[in-house]
Structure 1
């Protein structure tokens, strides 16, 4: 397969790129870190081609991605996380997070969608943070809730074109991004686990790839509870941070 992955210079995106390359697939690895891209190309000279990409920049994102016309699988991983300080409320924080996690991701879709053919797969990575109102996660969780809704709508609108759209909702994964967290992260998994779970879900065309399973099941069940109960759970999580 020909596979394009954003956020491929660290974390889940990097592990996916490496694992798919090991399996003999051809990868376009996209990311901001040119040195990390060069290291991937050196490690997998026959299967990985780096593409410098900053999805916060509209013009260069469209220009850099529009030329890829033979892609079987797109995995949009790139994203950021910032937590809100409620005592110093900052609307610009929301703009930064949404500009990457939602608008930037959709810029990639805008650039790549015209060249996707029947049988192609579009995979968009969100987060289980969308399922409950977690403390300080107003911007991050809100952006992931938005991207999940958009992904589900794309499933409807692209079905008649034969393009499969899959949603990925990871829990806590050991990445450079989560290393910055200053709170307990229950059921945290490795990037190797995340990559394996995502790749198996893609192979099986699962519309909703949520992991780890127990954590995902718990949060999905909690999201169905009355709002008062959800708030009570969220308070418990807040007290634990």
Structure 2
């Protein structure tokens, strides 16, 4: 199978690339930094197509798609993994921060979809996959920018699933809990049921062949978030405020041990 994967230079993307390559697939990998991609190609000779790109830049994505078409002609699966996570301090609300996160997590995915859909259409079993977040199941403290970008990505993917069904292109949204990556290493709050990048990659790779509509994990963590979201509005607000207070206390304790 020919697979394109973004954000493959570190964290979940790198672990997922290694898992897919170990499973015998051909994988085109993209990220801004070429060096980790070249290292990956050296570890899996003949299986890796290195396509460094800035996915927030339209011309860069267009060039990526042209190169991919030149080498492969078609694409069986596209995995939109590239993204960022930055938290908002509501005392100093910044539109620029939200704009940056939405551009990175949503607009870059949209650019890739525009340019890669024609290649997916050439496959007999095209599969579009996006890495979302469990943050879309319940509003979390300081996640205004990150949560909004991932909630928009969820709606985009769910709408695409409806419109692409007639073309037999499957659409899967992956919504993981906390994963140990360079991004989450910067978090200053407890991360329950956290998985390693390798554990998450194995789980995703195992589920992808069935082309499910969603891949959500860990199950218990997701179930708790969904249960919280079904509470009455007043209780949801109370839980959110409790989590917000705890997050502030954890941050303060780390800053002033």
Q: TM-score range by the shorter chain?
A: over 0.9
Report if aligned partners of 1:62, 1:110 keep a CA contact under 8 Å in 2: no
TM-score, normalisation: structure 2: 0.91
Task: For 2:174 and 2:244, locate their aligned partners in 1 and report how far apart those are by CA, in whole Å.
Answer: 25
Report if aligned partners of 1:12, 1:195 keep a CA contact under 8 Å in 2: yes
Aligned: 1:60 with 2:60: yes
Task: For 1:240 and 1:88, locate their aligned partners in 2 and report how far apart those are by CA, in whole Å.
Answer: 19
Number of equivalenced pairs: 241
Aligned: 1:131 with 2:137: yes
Task: For 2:199 and 2:152, locate their aligned partners in 1 and report how far apart those are by CA, in whole Å.
Answer: 26
Correspondence for 1:175 among 177, 181, 186: 181
Report if aligned partners of 2:19, 2:205 keep a CA contact under 8 Å in 1: no
Worse-matched range after superposition: 192-201 or 147-156: 192-201
How many angstroms does 1:67 deviate by? 4.1
Gaps of at least 5 residues in structure 1 are: none
Gaps of at least 5 residues in structure 2 are: 248-257
Task: For 2:12 and 2:172, locate their aligned partners in 1 and report how far apart those are by CA, in whole Å.
Answer: 16
**CA RMSD for the aligned pairs?**
1.1
Task: For 1:39 and 1:120, locate their aligned partners in 2 and report how far apart those are by CA, in whole Å.
Answer: 28
Task: For 1:190 and 1:236, locate their aligned partners in 2 and report how far apart those are by CA, in whole Å.
Answer: 27
Correspondence for 2:112 among 108, 117, 139: 108
Corresponding residue for 1:4?
A: 4
Aligned: 1:50 with 2:36: no
Q: Which protein shows a greater Rg?
A: 2
Worse-matched range after superposition: 64-73 or 126-135: 64-73
Task: For 2:55 and 2:27, locate their aligned partners in 1 and report how far apart those are by CA, in whole Å.
Answer: 18
2:165 counterpart SS class:
helix
Deviations along 1:65-114, whole A, 9 cap, x unmatched? 24433211111100011111111111000110000101001100011001
Report if aligned partners of 2:129, 2:172 keep a CA contact under 8 Å in 1: yes
TM-score, normalisation: structure 1: 0.97
